[in-house]
Chains A and B, each alone.
Chain A
Amino acid sequence: MKDTVKKSKYQTFIGLEVHIHLITESKVFCGCKNVFGSEPNTNVCPVCMGYPGVLPSLNEEAVRKAYQVAMALNCHLNEKAVFERKNYFYPDMPKNYQISQFEFPFGIDGSFDLELMDGSTRKIRIHDVHLEEDAGKMIHEGSRSKLDYNRAGTPLLEIVTEPDLASGEEAEAFVQQFRQMVRYLGVTDGNMEEGSLRCDANVSINEHGKGLGTKTECKNLNSSRFVKKALEYEIKRHTKVLSSGDEIIQETRLWDEGSSRTSSMRTKESSNDYRYFPEPDLPPYWPEEKFLDEIKNSLVELPGAKKERIINQYGINQQLVVFLTSEKAMAEFFEEVVKLGKGDKGITTTVASWLGGNVQKILNDNGLEIESSPLSPKRLLSILNMIETDKISSGIGKKVLGLVFEKNSDPEEIVKELGLDEGPNDDEIVKIVSDIVDTNPKVADAVRAGEDKQIGFLMGQVMKATSGKANPGKTQKLIREKILKQG
């Protein structure tokens, strides 16, 4: 027997370190605003600037969100969480140590159900979930370096996976699905361009059954696509090095999107010894059972569970469900329309396909999110109802949808105002149909000869002449009558 698929000699192990920027009122250890995009050095105070004598004061809102993520990732919650100082010098880090967690983070030993391309799921083990503070930003302009400390002290949550991902594609899927989950939780906006979600990837390869190989770490992965590309580049590089009998050097490598390759940033020998030790300014955090219960009870339905429920409850097809549940707001919008429409099976499919088609297109064209758009569940339902009752055609419905976005007013008003429901009267339609059949004798002949499809052309002409207001059923009937009469 011949082996048709040549299996790679090597097995790949990928682990990710994902940082998410938590949405909180204030920074994690002081009262400064936690916002993106302010004038440089305006959201700063003695605490986040590291002045002499200041002390960190822990923000409970950040702690709450850290626990939400740890719970959503099925982590074991440490009985006591300890903050530690991670020591290294960098100009954008005010204290030259970062308050982080090391030995006792909020959550450890969790898992994430990764949906694979074939529809199956695999558990990706989560090593830990820990809370830390972000650094500021250094911007180089020619020979000058500028420092902006607005970001210094904003809350970052780091999620570390075990090396359970087997390809660049899987790593990309993990980042996408993880992003979807934390957006559902509402703990971050997950914007990778603004750095609200950042990712480093560790990769090693080894012969099957031999366990982990020597790893390299990739940094500067600013989109899930870069994660995939950088890892695929690294896997190829590792394979080439090992195949030629050489060894991989443990090092940190930087992804360069321009040249689509990684290059060495620093080797292990030159890496920092962070000299972690417990932060003496913050006592160990002992979460009360009541506090944790309250967080647990307020956890939202996560994407996987929501998807399954929507399929079972509404009988929506897989493809549409993936779209509907991509964002929590979209799924909620869908369910709200269905609820308002009393939830009959017929309308659920229509609502879903409108959201996945016409609505999504307008949102994309206008760069809007469903929750902040002029379209409300009530407005969408009212358009669909007008179509359902033949008050307007679905073509007009689409036009009305566009006008809702344009005018931000109710569909009924738009229809009334523009007279969209006042289609041509029967006499007018009879005349239009008659004219169109007369000016297209060849098409009429073809229909009579049994080429029924050709009737569509005539329909199109009538619709064009009536700006889509003619009732399609009635029009088709009239066209047939006219053609037959002539025959």
Chain B
Amino acid sequence: MQDKDTNISQNTDSYLKYVNDWEQKIGSFLEFDIERTKGFSKLEGPLAGIPFGVKDNFAVEGFDITCGSKILKGVAAPYTATSVAKLQDAGAVVVGKTNLDAFGMGSSTDNSAFKVTNNPWDTERVAGGSSGGSAAAVAAGLVPFALGSDTGGSVRQPASFCGVYGFKPTYGVVSRYGLTAYASSLDVVGVIAGTVEMTRTVFDIMKGQDIKDNTSVKHPGSRNNGDVKKIAVLKVEDGSLSKDVEDSYSKSIKRLEKLGFEINYIDLPSFEYVVPVYYTIATAEASANLARYNGLRYGYRSKNGNNPGEIMQSSRDEGFGDEVKLRILLGTYVLRSGFQDQFYHKAQKIRTAMRNEFDKIFELVDLIMMPVFPTAAFKHGSTDLDPFQQKVADLYTCAANLTGLPAFAVPSSIENGLPVGVQFTAPAFEEDRLFNIAEVLEAEFPSQSVEGVKNWSKV
């Protein structure tokens, strides 16, 4: 834990200058104001005075909630998300809202309507997405942790791209109330942090049942004290990872062997279906979740239209970006009457089969290790990966969302000047196993910082 005397009320000027200097380079925040919501945070608590960033698809009273989309530009959040409020009760202070792919749809943060977020390790490259702003802010030392949302890897992939920790809890363990829904049955509140301890602390504060979220559950605790002995390692076919990621993955395997873990190599046959199943379910739910944005009650209202119906139509046409429209269309398509059995229902069946496949493996092992993403941070635009390739690359992260299982992306190595992470997945409610393995690995290889980054508490 940070020293008691290091909080944002001290050294404010140097902190602001530090943030400002980095922001010129990386553009991680959409709004930044260390004073704005101070009044909502308790003065005491385990996180007293500790600043954090919140992805701009969470409601935080005092700040806007744009979701990175023109359609919500200037919309003030009228309430605060349960997860954020719990952290404020523990003393932490929201200092700003971080950039994202609009509504969490994307792997680059390039789908934000407002600004470009760059990777602190190489500003030519993306910070990943959709929680790119949160990952970049933590990696640059602007905040010790930030909240993200993870629907198909949106916390783990940017954390991996930026060389920090990206944690996705078991579905339902952290209240989603106040997190703008992209795909309700896949969305979880995730944590991006510089250390395992900070990740664990933030998770412990946020977890718990919430009467405002009927899908939330009480955490039953680990069944085996979070002990980890046997780890299944996903076999990866030749050519499916970039050279850098392949090298990094090998290093992680060797590290586990060196540390004495029992390793079994496994195949996951259902992985063949992960991406189509994910995009079927995610877009179906998104098509309904995003129907509410119509310019009538709040947000962008088009001037084109003579009646409420027309205004609704043109506001959505002008307010949403291309990626969001693509996913709404796809989701509407798979839900059409007469086509549900072919797409949506079939996807749900495969989803259940996947969960069963994971559960079977977890009868034999404590954790599964797999890559986070087939490449390290790619360049802005479509030069490295076009939007379709980016979707196909969600393979390794989507599985945890479809199965609802907890997963943790941790730093693995630096390859050719870019950080690469590796991912662990645990049985439901076995977050402790993830923190325990991550701590063991952190002792071997902690989160690295790019030149110019200071620990926020030493600014």
Question: Are A50's CB and B297's CB within 8 A?
Answer: yes
Question: Are B177's CB and A275's CB within 8 A?
Answer: no
> Within 8 Å of chain B (Cβ to Cβ): is A138?
yes
Complex alpha-carbon distance, A274 and B338, angstroms:
12
Given contacts A145-B307, A275-B332, A282-B215, contact A53 B291 (CB under 8 A): no
Given contacts A54-B177, A277-B335, contact A91 B296 (CB under 8 A): yes
Stretch at the interface among B73-81, B249-257, B377-385, B407-415: B73-81
> Within 8 Å of chain A (Cβ to Cβ): is B459?
no
Q: Which of B27-58 contact A (CB under 8 A)?
A: 57-58
Question: Are B332's CB and A51's CB within 8 A?
Answer: no
Given contacts A138-B308, A280-B184, contact A53 B215 (CB under 8 A): no
Question: Are B65's CB and A53's CB within 8 A?
Answer: yes
Given contacts A46-B78, A275-B337, contact A97 B291 (CB under 8 A): yes
Q: Which of A464-484 contact B (CB under 8 A)?
A: none
Complex alpha-carbon distance, A52 and B180, angstroms:
5
Question: Are A50's CB and B292's CB within 8 A?
Answer: yes
Given contacts A52-B57, A96-B291, A280-B184, contact A89 B312 (CB under 8 A): yes
Residues of A contacting B: mostly:
loop
Residues of B contacting A: mostly:
loop
A-B pair count, CB < 8 Å, reads 107
Given contacts A275-B332, A277-B335, contact A51 B78 (CB under 8 A): yes
Question: Are A147's CB and B291's CB within 8 A?
Answer: no
Question: Are A283's CB and B215's CB within 8 A?
Answer: yes
Q: How far is the CB of B428 from chain A (nearest CB, A)?
A: 15
> Within 8 Å of chain A (Cβ to Cβ): is B344?
yes
> Within 8 Å of chain A (Cβ to Cβ): is B336?
yes
- The closest CB in chain B to the CB of A87 belongs to B288
- The closest CB in chain B to the CB of A56 belongs to B214
Q: How far is the CB of B456 from chain A (nearest CB, A)?
A: 27
> Within 8 Å of chain A (Cβ to Cβ): is B17?
no
**B293 contact set on A, CB distance < 8 A:** 52
- The closest CB in chain A to the CB of B177 belongs to A55
User: B75, B78, B179, B284: which has the most chain A beta carbons within 10 Å?
Assistant: B78
Question: Are B297's CB and A49's CB within 8 A?
Answer: yes
Complex alpha-carbon distance, A282 and B296, angstroms:
26
Q: Which of B285-316 contact A (CB under 8 A)?
A: 285, 287-288, 291-294, 296-298, 307-309, 312
> Within 8 Å of chain B (Cβ to Cβ): is A58?
yes
Question: Are B75's CB and A55's CB within 8 A?
Answer: no
Question: Are A53's CB and B335's CB within 8 A?
Answer: no
> Within 8 Å of chain B (Cβ to Cβ): is A273?
yes
1/0 contact string of B200-226 vs chain A (CB within 8 Å): 000000000001111100000000000
Identify which of A53, A97, A280 contacts B185 (C-beta below 8 A).
A280
> Within 8 Å of chain A (Cβ to Cβ): is B67?
yes
Identify which of A46, A53, A91 contacts B181 (C-beta below 8 A).
A53
Q: Which of B158-192 contact A (CB under 8 A)?
A: 176-181, 183-185
Given contacts A51-B78, A56-B214, A145-B307, contact A277 B59 (CB under 8 A): no
Question: Are A53's CB and B288's CB within 8 A?
Answer: no
**A280 contact set on B, CB distance < 8 A:** 183-185, 215, 285
Complex alpha-carbon distance, A97 and B185, angstroms:
17
> Within 8 Å of chain A (Cβ to Cβ): is B264?
no
**A91 contact set on B, CB distance < 8 A:** 294, 296, 308-309, 312
Question: Are B75's CB and A52's CB within 8 A?
Answer: yes
Q: How far is the CB of A139 from chain B (nearest CB, A)?
A: 11
How many of chain A's residues have a CB under 8 angstroms from any CB in B?
Answer: 31
Complex alpha-carbon distance, A53 and B181, angstroms:
6
- The closest CB in chain B to the CB of A97 belongs to B288
> Within 8 Å of chain B (Cβ to Cβ): is A57?
yes
User: B77, B184, B285, B288: which has the most chain A beta carbons within 10 Å?
Assistant: B288
Given contacts A55-B212, A57-B212, contact A145 B185 (CB under 8 A): no
> Within 8 Å of chain A (Cβ to Cβ): is B420?
no
Question: Are B177's CB and A53's CB within 8 A?
Answer: yes
Question: Are B176's CB and A55's CB within 8 A?
Answer: yes
- The closest CB in chain B to the CB of A83 belongs to B214
Question: Are A96's CB and B292's CB within 8 A?
Answer: yes
Given contacts A51-B59, A57-B212, A277-B340, contact A147 B335 (CB under 8 A): no
1/0 contact string of B331-358 vs chain A (CB within 8 Å): 0100111001000100000000000000
Question: Are A89's CB and B291's CB within 8 A?
Answer: yes
Question: Are B309's CB and A52's CB within 8 A?
Answer: no
- The closest CB in chain A to the CB of B172 belongs to A283
Question: Are A52's CB and B59's CB within 8 A?
Answer: yes
> Within 8 Å of chain B (Cβ to Cβ): is A307?
no
Complex alpha-carbon distance, A57 and B210, angstroms:
10
> Within 8 Å of chain B (Cβ to Cβ): is A186?
no
**B337 contact set on A, CB distance < 8 A:** 273-275
> Within 8 Å of chain A (Cβ to Cβ): is B398?
no
Q: How far is the CB of B299 from chain A (nearest CB, A)?
A: 9
Question: Are B184's CB and A281's CB within 8 A?
Answer: yes
**B57 contact set on A, CB distance < 8 A:** 52-53
Question: Are B298's CB and A51's CB within 8 A?
Answer: yes
- The closest CB in chain A to the CB of B337 belongs to A273
> Within 8 Å of chain B (Cβ to Cβ): is A95?
yes
Complex alpha-carbon distance, A52 and B309, angstroms:
21
Question: Are B292's CB and A85's CB within 8 A?
Answer: no
- The closest CB in chain A to the CB of B211 belongs to A57
Question: Are B214's CB and A94's CB within 8 A?
Answer: no
**A89 contact set on B, CB distance < 8 A:** 291, 294, 309, 312
Question: Are B212's CB and A53's CB within 8 A?
Answer: no
**A138 contact set on B, CB distance < 8 A:** 308
Complex alpha-carbon distance, A57 and B177, angstroms:
10
**A94 contact set on B, CB distance < 8 A:** 292, 297
> Within 8 Å of chain A (Cβ to Cβ): is B142?
no
**B340 contact set on A, CB distance < 8 A:** 277
Complex alpha-carbon distance, A231 and B211, angstroms:
46
Would you give 27 A-B contacts (Cβ < 8 Å), ordered by A?
A50-B292, A50-B297, A51-B78, A52-B65, A52-B67, A52-B75, A52-B180, A52-B181, A53-B57, A53-B58, A53-B59, A53-B179, A53-B181, A57-B214, A89-B291, A91-B296, A91-B309, A94-B292, A94-B297, A95-B288, A273-B337, A275-B287, A275-B332, A275-B335, A277-B285, A280-B215, A282-B214
12 additional contacts, CB 8 Å, given A57-B211, A91-B308, A95-B288? A50-B292, A52-B65, A52-B75, A52-B293, A57-B213, A85-B288, A94-B297, A97-B291, A277-B335, A280-B215, A281-B214, A283-B215
Residues on A close to B: CB < 8 A? 46, 49-58, 85, 87, 89, 91, 94-97, 138, 145, 147, 149, 273-275, 277, 280-283
